[in-house]
Amino acid sequence: MTAKNPTARLSRAELVSLSNDIRLACMRISRRVRFESDRELPPHQFSVLCRLEATTRTNSELADIERVSAPSMKRTTNMLVERGYVSRADDPTDGRQVILALTTEGRRALGRIRKHRDEWMLSRFEQLTDDERELLQRAAAVLAKVASE
C-alpha cells in the first residue's frame, strides 16, 4: 500500500517485503512467548504435553507428529515421566508398544505454562494504544486465515 492511495494493490516486491515482515514478526513473538514465559519446561517438552492432552499416544506417534527421531522422542518422554507429567502403560494389543498419557500433574503444568504465556502477551498488549489493539484484533482474523490455508 502506498501512503497516497491506501487501496492501491501491492506490487510483487511490496508483497514479498510484507510477507517477510509478517513472518519474522510472528517468529519473534512465538520465540519470545516460548522462551521468556517457560521456565518450567523447554518448548519441545511442552509441545509433547499438548499432544497428550486430548488422547494417549505412543512414542512413535509423538515422534511422527513432532517430526523428530524415535530415540529423541523417547528421551523427551522419559524426562516427562521422571517429572511425573506423563505416565506409561503397556499397550494391551501390542506388547512392543508403550502407551503414554498425561498425568494430573502434567495437566496442571500445562495450565500453569499457558497462564504464564497469556500473562506475558497480556502485559505487552496493555502497553499498546486502543487503536493498536483494535488493529491487532482485526489482524488476528486475517493471520488465522493465512495460517489455515
pLDDT (tens digit per residue) in 101-136 = 999 999 999 999 999 989 989 999 999 999 999 999
Q: Which residue would you say has higher pLDDT here, 35 or 12? A: 12
* Mean pLDDT, rounded, for 84-105: 92
Residue 39 in this model has a pLDDT that exceeds 80: no
User: What pLDDT was estimated at residue 37?
Assistant: 63
Q: Residues 6 or more apart from 7 whose CB is under 8 A from it?
A: 1
Residue 3: what are its φ and ψ, rounded to 5°? -65, -30
User: What pLDDT was estimated at residue 35?
Assistant: 78
Cα gap 73→60, rounded to integer Å: 8
Cα gap 50→68, rounded to integer Å: 16
Residue 137: which pLDDT band, with cuts at 50, 70 and 90? very high
Residue 1: which pLDDT band, with cuts at 50, 70 and 90? very low
User: Which domains can be identified in the chain, with CATH numbers?
Assistant: 12-144 (1.10.10.10)
Residue 50: which pLDDT band, with cuts at 50, 70 and 90? very high
Q: Which of 27, 5, 25, 8 shows the shortest CA–CA distance to 17?
A: 25
Residue 6 in this model has a pLDDT that exceeds 70: no
Q: What is the pTM for the complete model shown?
A: 0.76
User: What pLDDT was estimated at residue 98?
Assistant: 93
Cα gap 86→1, rounded to integer Å: 50
Query: Are 65 and 51 spatial neighbours (Cβ–Cβ below 8 Å)?
Result: yes
Q: How many CA atoms lie within 13 A of 121 on its CB side?
A: 14
Query: Are 119 and 93 spatial neighbours (Cβ–Cβ below 8 Å)?
Result: no
